[in-house]
Amino acid sequence: MSSVQEVFSSFNDYLTTDQDIREEIRNSVRILEQTAREIMTLLQAIHQREGLKQVPTICQKSKEKFESVKAAYADLAGKFPLQHYYRFHDHWRFVTQRLIFLAALTTYIESDTLITREETAKLFGIEVEKGSGFILDLEDYLHGVLLLSNELSRLAVNSVTSGDYERPLKISSFLGEINTGFRLLNLKNDSLRKKFDSLKYDIKKVEEVVYDISIRGLMPERKIIKKELT
């Protein structure tokens, strides 16, 4: 029978190993956070007066930065046994959600479409199916998509300032589709539900922008359709 000291010695070995793994993970996550800041800095150019005219260049530079993201996730995946993914998931959850948002923003301003979970995973160099390796968690993807709405509501306002009166209408339609999609989901995650609630306020803000440019006669041929946000 093991002595008390032997039992606690084994616990200490376990905790030391666990702490070492977590420190290695934190080092990789810092690289992801730095890259996310760099991508965000690039994308902020769309809010400048001439920024929307530079969208192809901005998107190209953004996608080049995602090569560093792919390398960082590959490095991160080698820091721990992948069967323990959810044991360490909190370390990279928030930066992953932010990177999903940045990928979604890049795709939207380039093509007016929503990046899929599969396309995002491919961009990151990771998987979507559990058990196949380092995965892109579904809830993380949904969080990232919801982060997009606030940035697009800001873009709608700045587009008007730049003289682009068509873009707010496109953004309004796009966010309406996102809203409809989320209403199909049975959201039990409290943080997701709270973020989904904020989507409704962003939609309302964009609709106000669209309404304003409409009554000013800047888009007289367009009819504004209010969406019910109950």
pLDDT of 228: 45
* Euclidean distance between CA atoms 7 and 25, whole angstroms: 27
- Please state the rounded mean pLDDT for residues 49-67: 91
The C-alpha atoms of residue 76 and residue 219 are separated, in whole angstroms, by 49
Give the pLDDT confidence of 195-210 residue by residue, as tens digits.
Answer: 898 999 999 999 999 9
- Asked if residues 125 and 74 have their Cβ atoms less than 8 Å apart, the reply is yes
Residue 127 φ/ψ, nearest 5 degrees: -110, 170
Query: Rounded to an integer, what distance in angstroms lies between the CA atom of residue 100 and that of residue 116?
Result: 10
Distance CA 124, CA 70 (A): 5
CATH fold of the domain at 137-230 = Methane Monooxygenase Hydroxylase; Chain G, domain 1 (1.20.58)
Note the helical H segments in the chain. 4-43, 55-77, 85-88, 90-111, 117-124, 138-161, 167-183, 190-215
| Bigger pLDDT: 217 vs 125 | 125
pTM of the model: 0.87
**Is residue 229 within 8 Å of 203, Cβ to Cβ?**
yes
Architecture of domain 1-135: Up-down Bundle (1.20)
Structural tokens at position 141? 């993807």
Q: Which tokens go with 123? A: 């961009």
Contacts (Cβ under 8 Å, ≥6 apart) of 149: 175, 178, 198, 199, 202, 203
d(CA 215, CA 207): 12
State yes or no: pLDDT of 223 exceeds 70.
no
Question: What pLDDT sits at residue 181?
Answer: 95
Residue ranges per domain, the chain? 1-135, 137-230
Dump pLDDT digits (tens) for 12-54: 777 777 788 999 999 999 999 999 999 999 999 999 878 878 9
Counting every residue written for the chain, the total comes to 230
Task: Identify which has the larger pLDDT, 117 or 223.
Answer: 117
Task: Please state, in angstroms and rounded to a whole number, the distance separating the CA atoms of residues 99 and 36.
Answer: 6
Amino acid at 227: K
pLDDT digits (tens, 9 = 90+) for 135-175: 999 999 999 999 999 999 999 999 998 888 999 999 999 99
CB atoms within 10 A of CB 176: 17
- Per-residue confidence (pLDDT) for residue 164, from 0 to 100: 87
One-letter identity of residue 173: S
Query: Is there a common fold for 1-135 and 137-230?
Result: yes
pLDDT at 224 over 80: no
pLDDT of residue 229: 46
Q: Is 148 exposed, middle or buried (0-12, 13-18, 19+ CB in 10 A)?
A: buried
pLDDT of the residue at 83: 86
